[in-house]
Each structure stands twice: as C-alpha cells, then as structure tokens.
Structure 1
Amino acid sequence: MTPIAADSLALQRFYHWESSQPSRIILTQPMGDGTVKTFSWAEVGDQVRRMASHLQALGAAQGWEAGAKVAILSKNCAWWMMSDLAIWMAGYVSVPLYPNLAAETVRQILEHSGARACFIGKLDGWAGMKPGIPEGLTCFSYPLSPADARQTWEGWDALCARHQPLQGQPVRQADELATLIYTSGTTGAPKGVMHSFGAFAWAMDSALERLPLNEQDRMLSYLPLAHVVERVLVEHSWLVVGVSVYFADTLESFAADLQRAQPTVFFSVPRLWVKFQQGIHAKMPEKKLALLLSLPIVGGLVRKKIKKALGLDQCRIAAGGAAPMPVSLLNWYRRLGLPINEGYGMTENLAVSNITVPGLNQTGTVGPAYRGVQIRISPDNGELQMRSPAVMQGYYKEPRMTDEVMTDDGWFRTGDKGVIEKEGCLRITGRVKDLFKTSKGKYVAPAPIEDRLGEHPAVEACVVAGANMGQPVGLVMLSADAAKGDAAQRQQLAKELGEHLHKINAQLDPHEQLDCVVAVTTPWTVENGFITPTFKVKRNRIDEVYGPRLEGWVATHKPVIFSD
C-alpha cells in the first residue's frame, strides 16, 4: 500500500479549503419555512472550531477518554457535517445513527459505543426515538431540531456563541479511528464498523480515479449520512474535492430541492430510480415514450425535457447501488440518455469495491474492482472475498465477530456470492448466508423477527423473506389444528395474526417491518424438502417455491393472506 499523504486526510483537506477559498459557498440548507441558508468555507470553519472548543471543554470537565465517542442522531443537514468535523477536530470519534431507528436500537447503539454525548438534530419521528436516549446523556440540539429537543438541550448557535474558535490546525493521523458506522449483523444486533482516517482517504483516492469529480460539481444530500455511501460519496467528496452540497428538506419538497441543486453527480437506491420512472410513465405512457425516443430529432428533445423535469439535466454522473438494479431499469435510463453506473460495496469496505466504468455498457454486472481492490471467489461456496486498504479495522468490541468475517490469509468475507466475468466485471448472484437486502438497500436480519412471529400459538414454523423487495414478508406455517379450521375460525385467526403483525412491526426499525403475513396450510416436511432432519427450515427452498408469489401477495394490500 502506498503511504497515505497527510494532506489527503479529511481534516487536512478541510483546512485547505478554509484557507484557500474562505468565501466560497459550499453548503445550501433549506430551513423548512421557505427560506434557504448558505454557508461558506469560512463560516463552516468558524462554527466547527467553536463547537470543537465546546466539545474539548466538556470532555475535560467530564473526564472523557482519548478518542471518546460522540453520536449524531439527525437527518441530513449542514449541522450534521459540521458536527462530524467538530468531533474530529476536538480529537474524538463520531458515531452516526440512522434518523428513523426504533428507540430500542437507538439505546443499544449509544450504550454499546459508549457515547459520551449526542447531537439531536433534524428528525421526523423524534417522539418514538426519544425514549432510547439514556437518562443523563449530554445532548445538544440543532436549529432544525424538534421543538422539545431545542427546549430540553442547549442549541448549536448558543454553544457556538459562548466559545471562542479553536485555534491552529489540529491533525488526526491516518491510523486513528475516525468513526463507528453501525450496521446490522445476522443476529440483528448492530455492529460498529471501525474505520480510520486513512481508510477514508485511500477510498476517496481510488474512487476518484473511476469517478472523476471536481470542485465545480454539485450534489444533493438526501440519503442518510449514517449510510456508508452517503458518507463517502457526499461528505468526503465535499472535503476532498470541494464539491458543493445541497440538502433536501422534506419528502414533499424533494422535487424542488433537486431543481435547486441541479446536481452534476447523483446517486440513488433502485427504489427511487423506479419511482422516477413511474412518475414519467404516469405522464406519458410507456409505448408512446418509446416511440418518441426512437425518432431522431424528437427523441433528443424529449430526453432533454424529461431530464430537466427530473432536475437531472445537468447530471454527468448517475449512479445506483445499495441493492441490485434491474437490468430493464438500467436499459430504460440508458435509452433516456442517463446511463447509471451500478456500484457494489459494503459498510465494511467503505462501499469501495466495484463499479461500472462510465462510458462503457457493463449492464448486468457491478463492473470491475476499483484500483487497489482485490477480489476473488471462494472455491468452497462461491463467496466473494476482497481486500483493500479501505477494509475496516474490525467490529467495535467484537473481536470474535471480526475474526469470523476474515479469512486466515487476510481477505474479507462479503457473504455475497458472485462470478467474475469478462474484463474483470463482477456479477453478484446471491447471498451465502441468510441476511438479505431490501430494494431500499437496507439489510434485514430475519432470525430475530422470526423469533417474534413464532410466538403466536398457531404458528409452527416461519421464515422472513423478501430480498430486493420494498419490505420483507413473513411466511408462517400453521399448526395442524389451525390449518384445518373452518371459515369462522380462519376469520378469527386472520384477526389475531393481524394484531400480532402490528405488535411486531411496532418493535422493528422501518426497513425491517413486514408488509404482510402469509399463512401457509401445507406442512413443511423433510419429505417435501422444506426442512432438514433437525427441523431447520431450508431458506433456499422457501425462496424457490414462494419467492415468485411474494410480489402478488403484497399487491393485495392485505395484512394477512392464506395460502392453501
């Protein structure tokens, strides 16, 4: 590995922009009331330095250890990124949390990380998350925080006002821990992925060779900054390259936010690319659009008009990932003149593994590996394994779990199956283990949900399925007595299972909540291949038999469906 240059690390890059382009506007924040607030590098620097002073003073007063953890619980906003910088500048480690977690998960992460303080920011479901904040934890609020958070904890502006800016250019070394990025494991318990400043710097250096960005580029930040892709692509492109970042305000204002940003680089999960497509087809039927696009002059005008309506007429690099992109969807956007580069990566490798090469049609694969990334396929089980300087330092406080995902010769086990095709392009073919991704790019660990599903007395066995769907689905095999109930009994059972479903979903994070429960009356036996001799359900058999029917069941919009 080539040594990481000190001036390529996140804080050092920030100092470069702060001193060389102090007046340049680089953050644009809608304030929720129709107004927009902007920040220059100098303004960011002043506020970050004041907050870093506060954190250092607080750490000294409360006896924080070196590298203490400070959490950020907020939707994307300018203060999120400034908080991250302030935490680093003060000498601490940031712990971002998704802004829509269940209270139980919030508490679990804050306690496991040992967070000494937490920024409570812009949130929609704060009432449900608030019980997860441990009593006595030091917290701070943002100008866009929920009202009661601003009333409970001192705000960002007030804290900045009573502290002088931290002087000089405090540095962090390449091997120092920068952040813990929590991701769900197979047990459902969050795992804190440890990444250093050097890993981020190396990841950006390699990624920029494939996707060349520059300081004239603009991005809209709307996918959670707690997610590794947004953290690397948006936050670190902002720091390393100097791209301008615009923030989305609400779901309702997203179209207007996109028009304001006019992004030149745009990344999204497959679900949003599908929604864009559906919105276009709602205004222009698919057959008519295909005809118009096939006409030489008219086609060009239509393409330009559609991209302008989407707010993507200035987009020069479009990308997708976090979940598989359907080939038909990629081909549709290619015909529209907006080719999407599909990428592959994980939290554990800073999402820097593979991506298709701009200008080449590598649809159906996730492209070749980035420079410096090595990939191989295990001959034992077809698992994709990789290594690079961007691979994590390990799972925080979990050495055993870290050892489990590393081979004896130092390769990271991705848990995904794949094949390497021509020109080194990688095609992902499935998961080695049970953990699966929804179409929103979130991992779902089925086991803990299945444990709750199985608590109903009529349920003899169950499986949570739904890889690449919007939400997972619960499949339950009814007991012999429940399966042979008459119409009245079935109606009562449907009511009970519906209530059971509602209770379970209330305890889950949004991406884990079940769309519906399908009650199966045919027994799962060793003979028909659904279970092993030790009565473990064979997930691949479930997927094979029921997988093709899941979308149809979900489309009924019924909470409980009986399958005979």
Structure 2
Amino acid sequence: MDVEYKRKDTIPSLFLSQVKKHAKRVALREKNFGIWDEISWSGYYQKVNHLALGCLSLGMEKGDRVAILSENRQEWLYSDLAAQSIGGISVGIYPTNPPFQVKYILEHSGANLCIVEDQEQTDKVLEIKNELRDLKKIIVVDPKGLRNYKDPMLMVFDDLLELGKEMDQKTPGLLIGHIAEIQENDVATMVYTSGTTGPPKGVMWTHKSILAVMDDIVTMLPLTERDEVVSYLPLSHGAERYFSLYAAIMAGYTVSFSESITTIQEALAEISPTFFFAVPRIWEKMYSQIHAKVKDSVALKRYFFELSVKIGQRLTQRIINQEEISLGSKILYGLAYILCLRAIRDKLGLLRARTCLSAAAPISPEILKFFHSIGIVIRQGYGMTETGGFNFLQRKSDFKPGSVGKALPATEKSKIADDGELLVKGKCLFLKYFKDPDATAKMLQGGWAHTGDVAKVDEEGDLFIVDRKKDLIITSGGKNIAPSEIENDLKRSLFISEAVIIGDNRKFLSALIQINFDNVSKWAMENRISFTNYKSLAVNPEVYKLIQNEVKQVNSRFSRVENVRKFRIFDKELDEDDNEVTATQKVKRAIIENKFKYLIDDIYTE
C-alpha cells in the first residue's frame, strides 16, 4: 500500500497507519495442516481491501450490517475491518448458537450480508433464510461439502475477494476514499449481550469509544509491537475482539490462530504468547489440571511441587502485605522456580507471558494467589459491554487479589450509588441499544451507566466487585449474601467444575453442583467404582460423599450463615447448546433455577 495516511481517529484509519508503519512485519499467523502460515501487515490490508470492495460490488452501503458467524480465524478479522472500512457495522454471532438464536440476531440487526465459516454454519442460515427479509447474500469461507448446494444466496468468500480485486484494479485507492468519509462518532460494531436476563441486546460501539478504551488498555498493560497473542475465545465476545483486533491494530503486535478450539493448548505451547487474556473459567480449568496432574505424579514430584508452591505463596503474601522481601527469600524462590515452577509455566504455554489478565466474571482470590506463587501474575480488570468492555484495571505494581483496580482514563467518573450499585460515565460508554430506546434510557439514567454490579472501594481507591445486584441473596433471616464468593471457592475443588448457590428468601443456603467429569471419573476408577457416563457418576452415593467432603471444607472457610447446608448434583453437564451457560461459560442463573427447579424443590421440601 503506497499511501500516506495520517488520521487515526477511526479503526480503519488507524489500521492504514499501522500497515504503512509495519508493512513487512508479521501481523497474523494461522495454523493449517500442522504448519504456521504468516500474513504480513501489507497482506492483511490487501485482504481487507479486496473484501471491502467486494462487498461494495454487492451493493453494500454505509450503515449496512455485516454478520460474521465463524470460529476464530483470519477471515473473521478481514470481515470485521472490511465492513467498517466502507462505513458498515459488523455484527458477531457465536458459532455455537443454534439456528433460532442465529435467526434472532440476523433478524434484529437487519444484517444484509452474513459471512459464515463452513457447511455447519451455512446450514443454520439456510434453514432460516426465508424468515430474514434483509439478508441478501451468504458468504461461505470454507465451501467444503457445498458442491451440490444451488441456493442463489450462496457465494464463496474467495470469489468475493476476486470481485474486489477486479474493482481495485479498475479504481485504485477507492477504499481510501471510503475510509476518509468515516467519522469517529459513527457506529463501528454491534456486540450482542449474552442474554442472561432476556433476549440479547445489540450494544452499539462507536469508533471513538473503542479507541478510547483501547488507548487505555494498550498504555496501562502495556502492549507493544513486540507482543504475541493467541486468539481463542469467541470473537463475538467484546473482550476477545479487543485483543485480537483493536488492540492489535493500535499496538501493532502479532495475533495467532490455532487450528481449532481443541488445539488451543498446543498453540499456546508453540507460540508462547507474551500476553494472555482469559475468563475465570479458563484459569479455573488450568488450576484444576495442574493439581490433577500433580496428584497423579510420583511422591517425589508431589513433594517438590508442594514445597515450591509453599515458598511461592510465602513470597506472594509478603508482596500482598507490602513487606520487604529479603535476599534469602528471593534466592529460595529462584531455586524453586528453576527446579519446579518454570516447568509448570512452560507446560501451560505461558513461559514468556509477562502480562496476564482475567476479566468478565469474578475469580477466586486463592486461584490468583496460586498462579502468582508459580510466577504467573494475573491482573484483574472489570467492564461490561455497555461501558466499553474495560473500565477498571489493576496497575502492575498493585497485586491485590479480589480487586479490579482503579478506573481507566476513558472511564472519566465512577461512583457507588446508595444501594451499592456501581455507576460509571465517560468516553467509554456505548451509544445506545439498537432498536431499544426504553432499555437505553434505563441503562443511562442521568447520563450514568448503571452496571447492575454491587461494588465497594477500599481506602486506597481500589474497586472490589461484590456480585451482580440481581444475584445477591437475602435469606429469610434478612442476611445479605454474595453467592459468587462461595461458588468460586467451591470451584477450586478438583472435583467440582460448576456451582450455583441457592437461598433467596430461604432459611438456609444450598447448592447445585456440576462435578468435574474427568477428575471424578479418575477417582472412581482408582476406587473401583463402576460407571458408564456423567449421569451414572452424578447419581452414585459414593460420589455424593466425595462432594459432601469438598463442601464441608469450603464451609469451614465461611461464617455459619454462609454455609451450604444441602446440595444436589446436576444429572447432566451444563451446556451452551441447552442455553444453560454463555459462550464464555457464565451460568445463566435464572434459566438454571427454572430448569432444575425439581432439584431445588427436593432440597427445601426434604
């Protein structure tokens, strides 16, 4: 691209400036058939350019919506940037969504084009296309298996690129003119909420709000062109989009895609990213995997692991207490790191990770302390889709488990309302909900975004999220309880993968628990307990006793009123396909309580 472009106030204009600066450097990597293919920044631009012009050739206009229904891959990013570059609005759809949920978003957004990954996603859209009056074309990235599909709405992604290439040859520089027309207050993308409290809402982010938040993130973490990131969480989720696309453009670092979600651990090991973002469920799984492997190792390895972690935990506690660390403690930890802890980081694929981040839900402080003890410092952040994704972030020097840190500059003001709810305002806020003025007015009462999260601030100005306002439990005795703290402690168990605390207007707390199938099945085999599947373990009396012991241990760490008196084990694993959890594995509490009412009734009528 031989063009000088100095504007940086929209995402496409910032992209152009980075292409000029980093033309030959590697922007993207994708693994295909076991080999990492690399795309330079200039190659990245060429794909976006041709795709954008291809969309123009199909009649796309400014303000039109382009839906993207795909797993993480380079074409996702090309599609997002191409749509924005001609003034369109990108709309991500989770590839795990069933047809009825895909229909809702395509219909609600009024998407004109839908870019789908493969045959599976194509079939979803073809099943509902006759009910979608705005949809004009379905663009298929991987047409394998579609040879006999004759629907005129279908078009192959590479054919669309070819159309754009022809247009580019006829009118060189055409895309630059379109990018010049985009203004910072134009809508760049719509991010649909996960729908935990009702139908998903289309949250409209402008170029200005995205870049304000990204400037904060890139500066505060910080992120630079030397960083490496692996893209693996769904790109429909705002946080992953930030780190795979927007922050990557702003900082100029390299983003890598694994062959599939099932090979993410292999990709981490091969790439060894310098920055790693994960939702709490990922960190919990890593924590569980480490302890499960140690449990199965020989006695000497277990001894060295426990000793090394103990040394690390002592050091971590001194850091939390802001105590001076002696030279002897540093040397002792250095030995523990060399002999044991370094190998654990390497196995996780996080040996080079200088910055790690957890956000999107609360995480157990004990899990944060554990990772810190082995040399992986996880900083916590907080935000919600409506407030731009990130509003608070722990500073590098402030390791305070449970805190999400202090406000970022784009979150210009924040306060705690009389009922404990966190309110924020600033350049970070979304524009509005698409087609929903009433919900917009409710969210932005008085110009403040009402987060729905109960929070508190300590004497040093660090924010702590207590729980979702609607999830707080008030027992029949009038005691206010935040269930997430108890749930997170339960999930530290090797044998528990999910927990839902029940107790609103009840005499005592109870829990619905999902066992960790892998670890419980190993335990069952070791104890000669026969089983065939998850359900056969869930109903086994010996498994109940196992979980009962885990619950007792957690109860010992809480006050009596916060103790789980009774529990039941889910007879199935919670599944996104069954609308029980979100794509980032957050439990849909209201749906769970309704769907498994028979278990709750059994607890309280016993």
TM-score w.r.t. length of structure 1 = 0.75
1:229-276, Cα deviation, whole Å (9 max, x unpaired) = 111222111111111000122233112111222110000011111221
2:431 aligns with 393
Across the aligned residues of Structure 1 and Structure 2, the Cα RMSD in angstroms comes to 3.4
1:27 aligns with 28
2:77 aligns with 81
Q: Note if 1:519 corresponds to 2:598.
A: yes
CA shift, 1:422, in A, is 2.4
Amino acid paired to 2:78: M
Q: Summarize the Cα distance change of 1:124–1:514 in structure 2 as closer, same or farther, 3 Å threshold.
A: farther
Distance 2:229 2:89 in 1: 25
1:375 is paired with a residue of what secondary structure?
A: strand
CA shift, 1:366, in A, is 0.8
Do the aligned partners of 1:102 and 1:507 also contact (CA within 8 Å) in 2? no
Q: Note if 1:175 corresponds to 2:185.
A: yes
2:427 is paired with a residue of what secondary structure?
A: coil
Distance 2:74 2:111 in 1: 22
Write the mapping of 1:222-237 to structure 2, written as runs, cut at 5 A.
Answer: 222-237=232-247
Amino acid paired to 2:23: P
How many pairs does the alignment contain? 466
CA shift, 1:145, in A, is 5.9
Distance 1:270 1:384 in 2: 21
- Stretches of 4+ moved more than 6 A in 1? 123-126, 435-439, 465-471
CA shift, 1:304, in A, is 1.4
1:159 aligns with 160
Q: Summarize the Cα distance change of 1:425–1:177 in structure 2 as closer, same or farther, 3 Å threshold.
A: same
Distance 2:513 2:259 in 1: 27
1:22-54, Cα deviation, whole Å (9 max, x unpaired) = 2222111123x3233221111111121111111
1:279-336, Cα deviation, whole Å (9 max, x unpaired) = 2222224765231342545411112111111111110100011110101000000101
CA shift, 1:359, in A, is 2.7
Write the mapping of 1:66-105 to structure 2, written as runs, cut at 5 A.
Answer: 66-105=62-101
Do the aligned partners of 2:225 and 2:252 also contact (CA within 8 Å) in 1? yes
Q: Note if 1:221 corresponds to 2:231.
A: yes
Distance 2:361 2:513 in 1: 7
Q: Summarize the Cα distance change of 1:140–1:506 in structure 2 as closer, same or farther, 3 Å threshold.
A: closer
1:267 is paired with a residue of what secondary structure?
A: strand
2:146 is paired with a residue of what secondary structure?
A: helix
Show structure 1 runs of 5+ residues with no match: 440-460, 472-490, 492-497, 524-545, 547-561
Show structure 2 runs of 5+ residues with no match: 1-5, 296-301, 312-331, 473-482, 489-505, 517-538, 540-568, 583-587
Do the aligned partners of 2:391 and 2:410 also contact (CA within 8 Å) in 1? no
CA shift, 1:521, in A, is 8.2
1:508-555, Cα deviation, whole Å (9 max, x unpaired) = 3753585973526869xxxxxxxxxxxxxxxxxxxxxx7xxxxxxxxx
Write the mapping of 1:378-527 to structure 2, written as runs, cut at 5 A.
Answer: 378-379=417-418, 381-408=419-446, 410-433=447-470, 508=579, 511=582, 512=588, 514=592, 517=596, 519=598
Do the aligned partners of 2:9 and 2:207 also contact (CA within 8 Å) in 1? no
1:392-430, Cα deviation, whole Å (9 max, x unpaired) = 00101100000011122x110000101111221111112
Distance 1:423 1:213 in 2: 26
Q: Note if 1:37 corresponds to 2:43.
A: no
Distance 1:69 1:190 in 2: 17
For residue 305 of structure 1, the aligned residue among 331, 337, 343 is 343
Greater Cα offset, 21-30 or 216-225: 21-30
Distance 1:186 1:223 in 2: 18
Distance 1:123 1:332 in 2: 43
1:342 aligns with 380
Distance 2:408 2:515 in 1: 29
Write the mapping of 1:103-114 to structure 2, written as runs, cut at 5 A.
Answer: 103-114=99-110
Q: Summarize the Cα distance change of 1:249–1:145 in structure 2 as closer, same or farther, 3 Å threshold.
A: farther
1:119 is paired with a residue of what secondary structure?
A: strand
1:15 is paired with a residue of what secondary structure?
A: helix
1:97-117, Cα deviation, whole Å (9 max, x unpaired) = 111112111111111111111
Do the aligned partners of 2:113 and 2:139 also contact (CA within 8 Å) in 1? no
What fraction of aligned residue pairs are identical, expressed as a percent? 28
Distance 1:290 1:311 in 2: 21
For residue 357 of structure 1, the aligned residue among 395, 401, 404 is 395
CA shift, 1:353, in A, is 0.8
2:241 is paired with a residue of what secondary structure?
A: helix
Do the aligned partners of 2:28 and 2:39 also contact (CA within 8 Å) in 1? yes
Greater Cα offset, 147-156 or 115-124: 147-156
1:534 aligns with none
2:556 aligns with none
Distance 2:268 2:443 in 1: 39
Distance 1:51 1:192 in 2: 24
Q: Summarize the Cα distance change of 1:521–1:392 in structure 2 as closer, same or farther, 3 Å threshold.
A: closer
Do the aligned partners of 1:103 and 1:130 also contact (CA within 8 Å) in 2? no
2:216 aligns with 206
1:348-368, Cα deviation, whole Å (9 max, x unpaired) = 122121111113222111111
Distance 1:325 1:76 in 2: 25
Amino acid paired to 1:413: H
CA shift, 1:377, in A, is 0.5
Q: Summarize the Cα distance change of 1:8–1:149 in structure 2 as closer, same or farther, 3 Å threshold.
A: farther
Do the aligned partners of 2:201 and 2:434 also contact (CA within 8 Å) in 1? yes
Do the aligned partners of 1:194 and 1:392 also contact (CA within 8 Å) in 2? yes
2:45 is paired with a residue of what secondary structure?
A: helix
For residue 284 of structure 2, the aligned residue among 274, 281, 284 is 274
Greater Cα offset, 15-24 or 169-178: 15-24
CA shift, 1:12, in A, is 1.2
CA shift, 1:90, in A, is 2.0
2:146 aligns with 148
2:326 aligns with none
2:598 is paired with a residue of what secondary structure?
A: strand
Q: Summarize the Cα distance change of 1:469–1:40 in structure 2 as closer, same or farther, 3 Å threshold.
A: farther
Greater Cα offset, 265-274 or 252-261: 252-261
Distance 1:130 1:335 in 2: 51
Structure number with the higher helix fraction is 2
